[in-house]
Amino acid sequence: MTSTTPPSSRSSSPQKVCHSQTQTDVLKPLLGRGVSAGGGTLRKRRRVLSKDGRSNVRIEHVNGQSALYMRDLWTTFLDMQWRYKFFLFTATFAGTWFFFGVLWYLMALVHGDLLEFDPPSNHTPCVMQMQTLTGAFLFSLETQTTIGYGFRCITEECPAAIVLLIVQLVITMLMEIFITGTFLAKVARPKKRSETVKFSQHAVVSTHEGKPCLMIRVANMRKSLLLGCQVSGKLLQTSLTKEGETVRLDQRNVSFEVDMSSDSPFLILPLTFYHLIDDNSPLRAWAAKGGGWTDPELADFELLVIMSATIEPTSATCQVRTSYLPDEILWGYEFPPVVSLSPSGKYVADFAFFDKVAKTKTAPVFKPSSPQRAYQSNGAGPVPDVSDPEKVCLEQSYRDRGGERGRARDTPLSVRISNV
């Protein structure tokens, strides 16, 4: 049993990518230009989605992007990294303490409560024991944090001071609610739960139930269950439309199932998900030539795998993502078993074998169900081959009969002989 990692070339410098999905002329392939490595032509590693599920797409030239982020402050604060959040948290509180401290100082200045005015002994200040800017800052801090040391307090002398006190408490209370809510929401985000769901480092292609299947392995590394698991895939590759337009990063559905069923698998143990490679699979052209990653035309794709589930303790929905490049899909390999029975009678999932693969005895072979069926270059579906003379004559005879019967309706009759 061996762990196999195919060779892959790495990008030495970033290259500019196209901003539009559809364009007439493609200047660069999806995965990068070919480079010589070991006598073959390989592709540079360039991902739309990283292995841990993060997006590698950079957004540029968005008009009013800052204004859009400010309109949605809640999401902006949630997406903010922790170091910036702590800095903003500290700066916000210190800034409000100092801002309202200056307002309290100006109020004492107008009322003549400062030491430089030398107020008489019977003078009643707006705030007791607040005669300097430092004292105003401390009073603002004590008011906002409700500390209340006892000797610095507001009096009934200044109605404006009472209004300022109410304004400060209302504004700072709303601010504290918002900041505390974002902290709690960020800690409780299901994104952290997705980090305890593991995908296999490689996908493999082997024969399952007599048919070639692409397989991936998924495991839940917590005892708390994931409910309603749904695994789906997206194949990103360059395709050509009927109008002659080249679409980069064209998305095609790749279905996954467990034991011929895709309905809510029970992810209590590591499971293997299968994608049947048949005539309807978007991987059929790649599988027809025996897989591999050295072909510049066939290896120009990326397989995204997405699992959605509900977290049992919180009932929140989480999504786990990963991606596989052609050099990470191993043809003619299979996953070894990871579940065993311990002497005490408990099932044990050994993750030391989770990412390992073993070569199969016989390599899988993809055989189209009908050799006379061809496929469009854009993967839209099968197109019957009408090169058989007998089939053409038979179709023409049916059209002639239908034309005689339906001349009164003046509607053409379309006839196609099935291959089955």
179 alpha carbon, distance to own chain's centre: 26
The β-bridge partners of 353 are: none
How large is the average pLDDT for residues 199-220? 91
pLDDT at 113: 85
Do 334 and 345 meet the contact criterion of CB atoms below 8 Å apart? no
User: Percentage of the chain with pLDDT > 90?
Assistant: 27
Contacts 24+ apart (CB under 8 A), 29-37: 29/238, 29/296, 29/300, 30/236, 30/237, 30/238, 30/248, 30/249, 30/300, 30/301, 30/302, 31/299, 31/300, 31/301, 31/302, 31/325, 34/296, 35/9, 37/7, 37/9
Listed in sequence order, the DSSP H helices in 188-318 are 191-194, 284-288
Average pLDDT of the chain, as a whole number: 78
Cα–Cα nearest to 231, from 264, 205, 190, 189 = 264
How large is the average pLDDT for residues 118-129? 85
Instruction: Say yes or no to pLDDT of 374 above 70.
Output: no
Do 193 and 168 meet the contact criterion of CB atoms below 8 Å apart? no
Instruction: Say yes or no to pLDDT of 54 above 70.
Output: yes
pLDDT at 289: 81
How large is the average pLDDT for residues 93-101? 94
For 235, counting Cβ atoms within 10 Å of its Cβ (0-12 exposed, 13-18 middle, 19+ buried), the class is buried
Structure tokens at 336: 């070894």
pLDDT at 291: 77
Q: How confident is the model at residue 358 (pLDDT cuts 50, 70, 90)?
A: very high
How large is the average pLDDT for residues 238-254? 85
Min mean pLDDT across 33-37, 85-89, 130-134, 214-218 is at 33-37
DSSP string, 13-45: S-----S-SEES--SS-SS--EEEETTEEEEB-
How large is the average pLDDT for residues 187-212? 87
Instruction: Say yes or no to pLDDT of 35 above 80.
Output: no
What does pTM read for this prediction? Answer: 0.65
How large is the average pLDDT for residues 358-379? 65
Classify each residue of 72-86 as buried b or exposed e, where b means 16 or more C-beta atoms within 10 Å of its C-beta: eeeeebbeeeeeebe
pLDDT at 335: 93
